[in-house]
A = this chain, B = another copy of it.
Amino acid sequence: MNYMETLGSRAKAASHAAGAAGTAQKNAALAAVAQALRDNTAQIIEANGRDMDNAVQNGMSKAMQDRLRLDASRIEAIANAVGKVIALDDPVGEEVRGWLRPNGLRIRQVRVPMGVIGIIFESRPNVTVDAAVLCLKAGNAVILRGGKEAIHSNTCLVNVMRGALGSAGLPADLVQLVEKTDRETAADMMRLNGYLDVLIPRGGAGLIQAVVRQATVPVIETGAGNCHVYVDATADVDMAVSIADNAKTQRPSVCNAIETLLVHKDIAPVFLPAVRKAFDAHEVVIHGCAVTQEILGGSVIPVTEEDYAREYGDYEIAVRVVDSVEEACRHILTYSTHHSESIVTRDMANAEYFLNHLDSAAVYVNASTRFTDGEEFGFGAEIGISTQKLHARGPMGLLALTTTQYRITGTGQIR
């Protein structure tokens, strides 16, 4: 048994205990976790300090350093977030469907924990607690593999959580950290068939693609967002400007921000100058098609095919004028990463066409794509945003961390 198999078998054994635990016991364990985080604040900050020292020595960027840093208020925020998960409804045990067969067999489809969940993530140590706590609430064991930049912080956080679980009568092995942060161990984790029921990568496109390519265990692909707003001919211009501006500039680095703006030709002469005014406040760089260039003039960079496929993640946008909602949908079907798309319109038929012809995880009418988020959807917390079609799509809350089981009761039926 190699290192990852040892972790896997411990997780599996622990998951059997967690699966049978009731909501009260799981919530008590989560409360113990929150309390332990508060009680060990000094120790956590000390461990994080060692990561921060290394970060400075290794010349980590200020922005990355800020993501890595833990202080008392951030630890308090993490503990508070645990409290919010305690307040969420426990999805385990829900009877999803139930029916009686003509032969008298009663079939119930019941929601049960997934089992063992693997999370591979990058340097933010708050993810260590957030992800673990969601997995625990849904009755799962979790194996966490964070970045080596945060290894001291993560080791301390995981030890604090393990201690709290033990004190609440649940196996400490429900939460384990992969302490070997080399690539070979990560590759072993991606091929931990028989132990890992699902692996969820959280991080940049490079990490996610590496997991998709290498993993033999089931994976939920998250993240990449080439999102669109389409401004239809009948759109309210003020609303369209407000939505396009919000979707592009409120937080351009996130996956539910838009990268391309599609505009119906009839509204383009009015809408484009108006949206440019809004964009100018953030110095948004515009890559425009020929018609866009004609309407907006010199400052527009000619757009390329590559631009339409690009996730800028910055104050930069592609703009294309189209002839119809059909052409807008064809563009989106060609270039989208199937995350979030929005139409701004007053035309009900076009709104329905847009909803029915796109295969993205979230499609909007007259709202910003920035709402594709577990909190905004009302899930209370989120483990990631799935852009694949299998199992879970869009923001993933607790439900995505469960599966179902058929329970069949008979009186001696045979075939």
- Residues of B near A213 (CB, < 8 A) are 216
Of B219, B370, B414, which contacts A242 at CB under 8 A?
A: B414
Query: Does A389 have its Cβ within 8 Å of any Cβ on chain B?
Result: yes
Identity of the chain B residue whose Cβ is nearest the Cβ of A372 in the assembled complex: B406
Copies of this chain present: 2
Tell me whether A390 and B112 are in contact (CB under 8 A): no
Query: Does A407 have its Cβ within 8 Å of any Cβ on chain B?
Result: yes
Tell me whether A389 and B403 are in contact (CB under 8 A): yes
- Residues of B near A367 (CB, < 8 A) are 105, 408-414
What is the minimal beta-carbon distance from A347 to any residue of chain B, in angstroms?
A: 14
Of B101, B212, B357, B372, which contacts A216 at CB under 8 A?
A: B212
Query: Does A227 have its Cβ within 8 Å of any Cβ on chain B?
Result: no
Known: A197-B389, A391-B390, A414-B250. A408 touches B365 (CB 8 A): yes
The list of the 4 closest CB pairs from A to B, nearest first, reads A367-B410, A246-B414, A391-B391, A389-B403
11 residue pairs A–B, Cβ–Cβ below 8 Å: A20-B356, A113-B359, A193-B212, A197-B388, A198-B389, A239-B412, A363-B408, A364-B409, A389-B403, A390-B403, A394-B405
Chain A residues in the interface with B (C-beta under 8 A): 15-16, 19-20, 99, 101, 105, 107, 112-115, 193, 197-198, 212-213, 216, 218-221, 236, 239, 242-243, 245-247, 250, 333, 351, 355-357, 359-368, 370-372, 376-378, 388-391, 393-394, 403-415
